[in-house]
């Protein structure tokens, strides 16, 4: 029962390409600046080769792993990515159904085009969801969102920490990226309704900033003035990714402690976007429950280290005290194996899920998960490993630049 048109994530990417309009495709696929970090996230996996062991009876393979206290079919989750209804009309609901069917954890973006309640309802009784959080400068919005996530049964929040400002994404700027009028940033639709009287209609379609610090031509002066000079003005008006996601004031002392108070004990607090040993140690010090080594899929600081290259120093610093997850550039089952061999406990995939959605909605996400899961299982078997916990450093060797 193969889809003969789609036997790999590379096939899926090509198939998805033709099914998205240019604005969506560029928004999903691009990285910041030249896109070199996006590319290196992928290429980093080629620097390692697997050292397979043989004659080990690999007739029974267990790919499952526990995450957030539940059994996940494979050590792979679907990373939170914003605005999934751009790819398919079912958007986040299709992703949630696919994850539920496949026993896969799902991260929901704060900037989803489906409300967290609707997604949670879709997943009832399945793997609990993670809510990705951008902590806004106006805490009231975040406080409300956190309370709703708790009520809906989310088990963890991932605070994204690599976005004090938005990375410079030139294709978005060229295309004047905007959310089409029929879609909403659903988690905040209510807040917007409160703020918008009849004279101030929704303006989700605000053109994005060409660059923070550049004067914006928007109707909303507080957005334009937000990062100019030294006087900072809080963003007001409708909550959009481009106006509210970035928060340059976030800090360990001020915000992590506050967030823990708001979330615990019902929800675990994790940080997503750690890329150095120094910050990993601070994460331990501030007693977060886990970290995700991530550079936002190369969409924030271009020139940053590939996540696979950052992983070993973070793993060394954490010394098994809390889980270390990684995302960025995972396109093959062997990539999952390599990340785990370098010490990750779990991986998340972003764009492949969006490509699956664009290709065939829920069925496409299921196909993506099946491809990666099958490849991972086969990789384990051919490397001589029957349980995920056995995957370790001795199964890898790093090759030098020439490939030898
Ligand atoms: C993202 N990512 C992201 N991360 C986050 O914390 N909040 C968000 O709203 C989004 N939105 C988003 C949109 C799109 C279109 C992409 C591609 C990515 C980053 C995401 O969670 C993850 O870190 C990367 O996607 C992982 O890299 P790969 O798997 O896409 O290479």
Residues 76, 102 contacting (CB under 8 angstroms): no
- The pTM (predicted TM-score) of the whole model is 0.92
Q: How far, in Å, is the centroid of ligand 1 from the Cα of 51?
A: 31
Any ligand 1 atom below 6 A from CB of 349: yes
216 has pLDDT over 50:
no
Instruction: Tell me what the mean pLDDT of segment 150-164 comes to.
Output: 96
Q: Which residue has the higher pLDDT, 216 or 116?
A: 116
Q: Find out whether 328 is annotated in a ligand binding site.
A: yes
User: Residue 191: what pLDDT?
Assistant: 72
1 has pLDDT over 90:
no
Nearest CA to ligand 1 atom 11: 81
Q: How far, in Å, is the centroid of ligand 1 from the Cα of 355?
A: 13
Q: How far, in Å, is the centroid of ligand 1 from the Cα of 350?
A: 5
- 98 closest CA partner among 327, 387, 352, 376: 352
Any ligand 1 atom below 6 A from CB of 329: yes
Q: Which residues are catalytic?
A: 296
Q: Find out whether 358 is annotated in a ligand binding site.
A: no
Q: Find out whether 35 is annotated in a ligand binding site.
A: no
Any ligand 1 atom below 6 A from CB of 92: no
Nearest CA to ligand 1 atom 6: 160
137 has pLDDT over 90:
no
**Intra-chain end-to-end CA distance of the chain, in Å:** 38
Any ligand 1 atom below 6 A from CB of 23: no
Buried b (16+ CB within 10 A) or exposed e, 134-152: bbbbeeebbeebbebbbeb
Any ligand 1 atom below 6 A from CB of 132: yes
Four-residue CA torsion sign, 177, 349, 267, 94: positive
The interface predicted TM-score of the complex, written ipTM, equals: 1.00
Residues 41, 328 contacting (CB under 8 angstroms): yes
Q: Closest ligand 1 atom, CA of 38?
A: 31
Any ligand 1 atom below 6 A from CB of 372: no
Question: CA 237, CA 234: separation in Å to the nearest integer?
Answer: 10
Report CA-CA distances (Å) from 350 to 9, 79, 111, 269. 12, 5, 14, 20
Q: Closest ligand 1 atom, CA of 330?
A: 29
pLDDT tens string 325-362: 999 999 999 999 999 999 999 999 999 999 999 999 99
> Tokens in use for 142?
């975040």
Q: To test the ligand 1 pocket, which listed residue (297, 311, 336, 344) has its Cβ within 8 A of the most ligand atoms?
A: 297
Any ligand 1 atom below 6 A from CB of 167: no
Residues 275, 307 contacting (CB under 8 angstroms): yes
**Torsion of Cα atoms, 112 then 118 then 119 then 121, to 10°:** 170
User: Residue 351: what pLDDT?
Assistant: 98
């Amino acid at each position: 029962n193969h889809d003969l048109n789609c036997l790999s994530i590379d096939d899926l990417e090509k198939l998805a390409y033709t099914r998205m309009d240019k604005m969506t495709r560029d928004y999903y696929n691009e990285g910041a600046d030249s896109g070199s970090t996006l590319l290196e996230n992928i290429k980093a996996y080629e620097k390692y080769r697997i050292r397979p062991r043989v004659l080990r009876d690999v007739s029974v393979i267990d790919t499952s792993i526990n995450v957030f206290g539940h059994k996940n079919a494979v050590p792979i989750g679907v990373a939170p990515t914003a605005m999934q209804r751009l790819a398919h009309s079912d958007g986040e609901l299709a992703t949630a159904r696919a994850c539920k069917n496949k026993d896969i954890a799902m991260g929901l973006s704060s900037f989803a085009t489906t409300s967290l309640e609707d997604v949670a309802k879709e997943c009832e009784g399945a793997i609990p969801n993670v809510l990705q959080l951008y902590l806004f400068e106006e805490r009231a919005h975040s406080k409300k969102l956190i309370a709703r996530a708790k009520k809906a049964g989310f088990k963890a929040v991932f605070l994204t920490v690599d976005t004090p400002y938005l990375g410079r994404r030139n294709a978005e700027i060229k295309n004047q990226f905007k959310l089409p009028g029929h879609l909403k940033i659903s988690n905040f639709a209510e807040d917007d309704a409160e703020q918008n009287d009849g004279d101030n209609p929704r303006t989700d379609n605000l053109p994005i900033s060409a660059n923070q610090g550049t004067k914006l031509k928007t109707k909303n002066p507080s957005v334009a003035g937000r990062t100019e000079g030294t006087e900072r003005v809080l963003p007001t008006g409708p909550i959009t990714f481009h106006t509210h996601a970035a928060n340059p004031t976030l800090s360990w002392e001020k915000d992590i402690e506050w967030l823990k108070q708001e979330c615990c004990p019902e929800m675990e607090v994790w940080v997503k976007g750690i890329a150095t040993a120094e910050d990993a140690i601070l994460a331990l010090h501030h007693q977060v429950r886990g970290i995700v080594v991530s550079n936002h899929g190369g969409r924030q600081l271009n020139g940053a280290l590939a996540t696979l290259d950052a992983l070993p120093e973070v793993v060394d610093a954490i010394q098994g005290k809390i889980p270390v997850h990684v995302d960025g550039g995972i396109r093959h089952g062997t990539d999952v194996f390599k990340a785990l061999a370098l010490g990750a406990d779990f991986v998340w995939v972003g764009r492949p899920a969006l490509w699956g959605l664009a290709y065939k909605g829920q069925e496409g996400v299921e196909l993506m998960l099946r491809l990666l899961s099958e490849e991972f299982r086969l990789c384990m078997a051919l490397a001589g490993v029957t349980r995920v916990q056995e995957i370790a450093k001795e199964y890898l060797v790093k090759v030098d630049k020439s490939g030898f």
